[in-house]
Amino acid sequence: MTERSVDSDLVIVGGGGAGLRAAIAAAEADPGLRIALLSKVVPMRSHTVAAEGGAAGVARADDSLAGHFTDTVAGGDWLCDQDVVERFVAACPEEMVRLEQWGCPWSRQADGRPQVRFFGGMTTQRSWYAADKTGFHLLHTLFQTTLRYPGIERYDEYYCADLLVDDGEACGVLALEIASGEPVRFSAPAVILATGGAGRAYGQNTNAGIVTGEGMAMAYAHGVPLRDMEFVQWHPTTLPGSGILITEGCRGEGGVLTNREGRRYLQDYGLGPPEPWPRPKAMELGPRDWLSQAFWREDQAGRTVPTAQGAAVQLDLRQLGEARILERLPLITDVARRFAGVDPLHAPIPVRPAVHYTMGGIPTDAEGAAPLAGLFAAGECASTGIHGANRLGSNSLAELLVFGRAAGEAAARRAREAGRRRHARAAAQLAEAAARPALAMLRNERGERVAALRDALHATMERHVGIFRNQAGLEQACADLAELRERYRRGVRLDDRSRIYNTEWLSALELGHTLQVAEAMACSARARLESRGAHRRDDAYSERDDERCLVHTLAHARGEAAPALEHAPVTITRAAPQRRAYGAAAEAAGGEGA
Amino acid sequence: MAGERTITLEVQRFHPEADEAPYLQPYTIPFSEGTSVLEGLQHIKDRLDGSLTFRWSCRMAVCGSCGCMIDGEPALACRAFLRDYAPGPVRVAPLDHLPIRRDLVVDQSDFLAKLERARTYLIPADERTPADGAYRQTPEEMADYYDYAQCINCLLCYAACPQYGWDQAFTGPAVLALVQRYDLDSRDAGKDARRAVVNADTGVWGCTLVGYCSEVCPKGVDPARAINQRKPASVADYLLGWLRPSGGEGTP
């Protein structure tokens, strides 16, 4: 059934920023390695391309690694693993410089040094940026740099359908070549998952259509727990309806948010006073969880602005002036004109929160190693422990560079030590078994349309696992998801039964994975009996509870049943939990700790 | 819903195993003021015909996946709006000049191979390490190449280029613009390595100055300008090549 096979030293699944950075690191560490880089899209189509605002790394004389550490830990509501955060912030500046040396067109100061900008929850300017196309330039720079390394063999438009695990060790993947629909076995002693997040579990999101969570789901199905899946980030400023991202960089440059009454309402949510503006860690430069929650409350109070696509608030850039808007925010200007019919030079952009980022994922150590021999994860699909309960803007592009590199280097070491072909025989059998359910779907005569199941998933997640949650809603979500998984198992009916470029088939396979990840999200949320970061409840658990809940959540897959949940300790090295504070409250405390 | 507007999309279909030649299939769908052509295609795939095949991803004109011919013009489906084609019908076909894999999906491999051959990555004079720090590059120096760095590799310019339609050996607008992007970067010293691609008959001299590539570019890259900016240097290389037998390897 799987006649085609590729033997490599290292398989990387995902050609976004993390996968490409890992590939380069592995090729640099060992030029003799044969690296198979699989991606379901040509790498420059990956979702990293849509990141806009910036990548964090201490750059200014008035900044410090301790400052980046403290902001990250406080921003994560103390659920961060502080040992990993320490390593992360220390590695960020080097990665930004490395990218510069590969050609990334970072925005510059007049004297030619890279420029940095303000971002939410960050004490000072430390987000490196390339206008408002940071992810685009970062991704293309990495992609073009991979062309230098002959050891990196690309398999563009290969969909990874399953991980191959033999005797407790990852030994490859089973992929479908999209052009032909043929299964192809990739064998290697080390596998890096760099498959991105799972934002498409929700209807309204900033994510590309490809962000469907299958890397997480594959690891999960093979016994790797998913960690902290209840923490889903809503980005506070996206276009109503489509969810297209309007970067935090807008606010970093001085944009303001107003409600229906024209009031900068964030002053009513512990983020004021409004002036002077812009200033760090206050008002519109508060953290994303607080801003999205403030929108929700404004909406409940009837102070949002109705639009044809639902409630919104106004993001006003006009005070920046035309020159600055066009220089710093050219993409936003084009997007607002095209997709919202608003010219930000002359009118505010209507915005609202939408799902943006999956804080949780495959647990890894600081080298990117997952708790399964031979398996590594990097980027949004991983849970390194740096984001805690709420990621700060511009820490994710930094993360995929730092941990992409770490995973690439660690996987290269593993590949050298383990050697090829130990599992060759088992891998062939495993690949056969892995291909069977995917191929069987093409012959299925009964069942529901992909879109029907996907719409039901979105409705449940938006309604019950939203910005604010409560026990009854989460119970309902868990029940709905169990039922949806059952409906999926009963059958998805495809109009398209052919092998060649069958994207309906691929979306059905993706949906199976997304459903499983969504169930882990809902069940993890139900088990967290407190409010922390992006997990906010409006029931009896509306406060943070360090006594009982300063722990990671681990969801273990149990086949068709709901996951088993356990909790694991958070590593705290030097910042004891404090009350999070922004605006005047933080300024009164001398800007320390919060 | 009462009063809902509808439009007919005539979508070009082709399945290599089933069809001898491409044909048009009409689909009538509802739309509103903000519905993109891509959303129209998604509506068809989700509700009417799951076999309709097209690429898409970011839906905000930055990933470059969804290029196609819309009423005969190369465009990103996510950035074109059905309201602008009303009352219709609007015709959606795969990008011109590229082999069709299925329906609206074209083969991108020729472009990717050319990108690799052209060495469109930074080739420094001396390998630097992070300890050496970032290069200094003033905003003015950056402006020399910045517009060319905005290419999203969507291939609309290849569909627009009559020269590429006539001779697929032509390196083509986007790759030549990306060569110029690196050649003009003050950090780069790789011009010599890229010279063979630029100076070949299939390089800048293949361009016949139509300029349609620049018109259709959704990112304002202006490949036509990049190519013609490069022709004088290519002439100089050619003349120096006569004076110096090793001309191809020398410094202009």
Given B81, B106, B131, which residue is the final one in a domain? B106
Strands A561-569 and A116-117: unpaired
Cα first-last separation, chain A:
57
CA distance B125 to A53: 31
Total number of domains constituting chain A = 2
H/E element holding A164? strand A158-166
Assign B232 a pLDDT band (cuts: 50, 70, 90): confident
- Average pLDDT score over residue span B78-105: 97
- Domain count across chain B: 2
Helix (H) or strand (E) holding A233: strand A232-238
Q: Are residues B221 and B96 in the same domain?
A: no
Q: Is the pLDDT of residue B1 over 80?
A: no
For residue A258 the two structure tokens come to 């107003």
Q: Please say if A574 is a catalytic residue.
A: no
CB-based contact B137 A331, cutoff 8 Å: no
| Chain B interface disruption, residue of A147, A155, A307, most B CBs within 10 A | A147
Chain B nearest-CA distance from A38, in A, is 15
Do both A340 and A445 map to the same domain? no
Q: Please answer yes or no on whether B122 and A103 come within 8 Å at the CB atom.
A: yes
* CA distance to partner chain B, nearest, from residue A63 (Å): 17
ipTM of the predicted assembly exceeds 0.85 = yes
Q: Nearest-CA distance from B152 to chain A in Å? A: 8
pLDDT tens, position by position, B119-147 = 999 999 998 999 999 999 999 999 999 99
Instruction: Find where tokens 């085609």 sit.
Output: A4
CATH of the domain at A492: 1.20.58.100
Parallel, antiparallel or unpaired: strands A116-117 and A256-258: unpaired
Tell me, yes or no, whether B97 and B195 share the same domain. Answer: no
- Partner-chain contact B119 A147, CB within 8 Å: yes
A548 with A558: CB under 8 angstroms?
no
The alpha-carbon gap from A451 to the nearest alpha carbon of chain B, in Å, equals: 5
Same domain, B135 and B228: yes
Residue A31 lies in a domain: no
- Which of B64, B79, B128 comes nearest A338 by C-beta? B79
> A461: which 2 tokens?
């997640």
Q: Tell me the residue type at B135.
A: Y
Contact B158, B177 (CB under 8 A): no
pLDDT at site A275? 96
Chain A, chain B: beta-carbon pairs less than 8 Å apart: 161
Contact predicate A73/A82, CB 8 Å: yes
Cβ contacts (< 8 Å) between B53 and chain A: which residues?
A: 496, 501-503
Domain boundary among A302, A319, A353: A353
Instruction: Say if residue A344 is in the same domain as residue A244.
Output: yes
Same domain as B90, residue B49: yes
| Bridge partners of residue A128, in order along the sequence | A55, A116
A451·B47 Cβ contact <8 A:
yes
Of the residues A235, A405, A454, A458, only one is catalytic, namely: A235
pTM given for the model: 0.96
Q: Rounded mean pLDDT of B65-80?
A: 98
Q: Are residues B238 and B133 in the same domain?
A: yes
Tell me the chain A residues in contact with residue B136 when contact means C-beta distances shorter than 8 Å.
111-113
Instruction: List, as own/partner pairs, every contact residues B18-22 make where C-beta atoms lie below 8 angstroms and the sequence separation is at least 24, other chains included.
Output: B18/A498, B22/B93, B22/B100
> Does B138 contact A45 at a Cβ distance shorter than 8 Å?
no
**How near does any CA of chain B get to the CA of A542, in Å?**
35
Chain A residues closer than 8 Å to B45 by CB: 503-504
CA distance linking residue A11 with residue B179, whole number of Å: 30
CATH code: domain of residue B147: 1.10.1060.10
pLDDT, position B239: 78
Residue A435 CB partners (closer than 8 Å, separation 6+): A1, A2, A161, A174, A183
Q: Cβ separation of B54 and A244 shorter than 8 Å?
A: no
Q: Are residues B221 and B125 in the same domain?
A: yes
Q: B148 vs chain A: nearest CA distance in angstroms?
A: 11
Query: Of A102, A111, A137, which has the smallest distance from its Cβ to B122's Cβ?
Result: A102
Q: Give the chain B residue whose CA is nearest to the CA of A454.
A: B46
Instruction: Kindly state whether residue A494 falls inside one of the protein's structural domains.
Output: yes
Q: Which residues of A touch B132 (CB under 8 A)?
A: 101
Contact list in B for residue A341 (CB cut-off 8 A) is 33-34
Contact A101 B102 (CB under 8 A): no
Based on the fold, state whether residues B234 and B120 are members of the same structural domain: yes
Cβ atoms < 10 Å from Cβ of A430: 23
Out of B106, B134, B160, a domain closes at B106
HSE-CB of A264 using CA atoms within 13 angstroms: 20
Task: Render pLDDT for B7-44 as a digit per residue (tens, 0 to 9).
Answer: 999 999 999 999 999 999 999 999 999 999 999 999 99
Last residue in a domain, options A319, A353, A387: A353
Does residue A183 have a cis peptide bond before it, meaning omega lies within 30 degrees of 0? no
Q: Are residue B79 and residue B135 in the same domain, yes or no?
A: no
Are B89 and B116 part of one and the same domain?
Answer: no
pLDDT of res. B250: 37
Kindly state whether residue A217 falls inside one of the protein's structural domains: no
**Single-letter residue type at B159:** A
Among A251, A356, A513, A532, the active-site one is A251
Q: How far is CA A500 from CA A442, B18, B51, in A?
A: 12, 11, 11
Structure tokens at A339: 């997709």
Q: Cβ contacts (< 8 Å) between B15 and chain A: which residues?
A: 498, 500
Closest CA–CA distance from residue B91 to any residue of chain A (Å): 21
Interchain contact, A50 vs B61, CB within 8 Å:
no
Which DSSP state fits A420? S
Q: Which range marks the domain in which residue A313 is found?
A: 234-353
Residues of chain B contacting A110 with CB distance shorter than 8 Å: 138-139
Q: Is the model's pLDDT at B251 over the cut of 60?
A: no
Of B106, B132, B163, at which residue does a domain stop?
B106
- Among A330, A353, A376, the domain-final residue is A353
- pLDDT (tens digit, 9 = 90+) per residue, A177-196? 999 999 999 999 999 999 99
Q: Which of B51, B105, B138 sits opposite A112 (nearest CB)?
A: B138
Q: Which residue of B has its CA nearest to A179?
A: B101
* CA A161 – CA A510 distance, rounded (Å): 9
Yes or no, beta carbons of B134 and A100 under 8 Å apart: yes
- Taking contacts as CB-CB distances below 8 angstroms, the residues of chain B near A503 are 45, 53-55
- What residues pair up with A314 in beta bridges, in sequence order? A258, A350
The helix or strand, by DSSP H or E, that contains position A163, with its residue range, turns out to be strand A158-166
Note if A235 is an active site residue.
yes
B76, B122: one domain: no
Most A CBs within 10 Å, among B5, B43, B49, B121, to test the A interface:
B121
Q: Are residues B91 and B138 in the same domain?
A: no
**pLDDT computed for residue A274 by the predictor:** 97
Most B CBs within 10 A among A28, A113, A144, A157, hence the mutation to make, goes to A144
Which residues of A fall within a CB distance of 8 Å from B125?
Answer: none
- Answer yes or no: do A111 and B136 touch at CB < 8 A: yes
CB contact under 8 A, A147 and B187: no
Mind listing the pLDDT tens digit of every residue in chain A (594 residues)? Answer: 557 999 999 999 999 999 999 999 999 999 999 999 999 999 999 999 999 999 999 999 999 999 999 999 999 999 999 999 999 999 999 999 999 999 999 999 999 999 999 999 999 999 999 999 999 999 999 999 999 999 999 999 999 999 999 999 999 999 999 999 999 999 999 999 999 999 999 999 999 999 999 999 999 999 999 999 999 999 999 999 999 999 999 999 999 999 999 999 999 999 999 999 999 999 999 999 999 999 999 999 999 999 999 999 999 999 999 999 999 999 999 999 999 999 999 999 999 999 999 999 999 999 999 999 999 999 999 999 999 999 999 999 999 999 999 999 999 999 999 876 567 778 889 999 999 999 999 999 999 999 999 999 999 999 999 999 999 999 999 999 999 999 999 999 999 999 999 999 999 999 999 999 999 999 999 999 999 999 999 999 999 999 999 999 999 999 999 999 999 999 999 999 999 999 999 988 764 443
Regarding whether B88 and B16 lie in a shared domain, the answer is yes
Residues of A with CB below 8 A from B51's CB?
495-496, 498, 504
- Cα nearest neighbour of A503 on chain B: B53
**Residue B187: its chain A contacts at CB < 8 A?**
101, 103
With b for 16 or more beta-carbon neighbours within 10 A and e for fewer, the A543-556 pattern comes to ebebeebbebbbbe
Please answer whether residues A333 and A345 qualify as being in contact, where contact means their C-beta atoms are separated by less than 8 angstroms.
yes
For residue B115, give Cα distances in angstroms to A405, A579, B122, B236.
24, 52, 13, 24
Give the CB-side neighbour count of residue A409, counting CA atoms within 13 A: 11
Residue A538 structure tokens: 């409006």
Distance from CA of B242 to the nearest CA of A (A): 31
- Distance, CA of B86 to CA of B93 (rounded, Å): 17
Contact assignment for A103 to B57 by CB distance below 8 Å: no
CB contact under 8 A, A41 and B65: yes
Nearest to A98 among B63, B119, B130 (CB): B130
Question: Which residue range forms the structural domain that includes residue B123?
Answer: 109-249
Q: What is the CATH number of the domain that holds A347?
A: 3.90.700.10
Nearest CA in chain A to B135: A101
The answer to whether A15 and A154 have CB atoms below 8 angstroms apart is yes
What whole-number distance in Å separates Cα of residue A360 and Cα of residue A533? 13
Does A335 sit within 8 Å of B58, measured CB to CB? no
Partner residue opposite B57 with nearest CB, options A133, A137, A209: A209
Of B18, B63, B122, the CB nearest to A45: B63
Question: Strand, coil or helix: what is B95?
Answer: coil
Is residue A43, in this structure, part of any structural domain at all? no
Q: How far is A40 from chain B, CA to nearest CA, in Å? A: 11
- Per the domain annotation, does A64 fall within a domain? no
Q: Which pLDDT score is estimated for A594? A: 39
What are the E-state strand segments in chain B?
A: 5-13, 23-31, 67-70, 73-76, 90-93, 100-102, 105-106
